[in-house]
Structure 1
């Protein structure tokens, strides 16, 4: 199992993999949730610390483009983490 698939595991998939104990599945789900939050926080921090395109060029149209790119990156992260 790779990292991307790990982030979308749910209880039924874990059970199908042979994890019989509901307590073990609950612990794994808790840790997976922590990993998702950690990755989200890292992504957010990276996006906040990057100088925006408008700061580099001084143009407002590039600022809106940067904002759109940020939204696209967040959508991709959330869809790959939660949508599968």
Structure 2
């Protein structure tokens, strides 16, 4: 086997694994899955890595708990002065 054949096999395996990853996602509609799988095959290496990295970053954002304060509570601006 020459180097070109090995590279093509590795790229095909990468594309196949990302296609399986995309097809198993529950947060994508069928049209989105098909479109992204087409991108993976038309832009072989960068498409696969880009879409995989994008979806993994989305998973990390969803799983992180919210660290900041949100809504409600006293922030000092709702008090009115009672003395004139």
Higher relative contact order (CA 8 A, sep 6+): 1
TM range (shorter): 0.3 to 0.5
Greater gyration radius: 2
Q: TM-score, normalised by structure 1?
A: 0.40
**Bigger helix share:** 1
Q: TM-score, normalised by structure 2?
A: 0.40
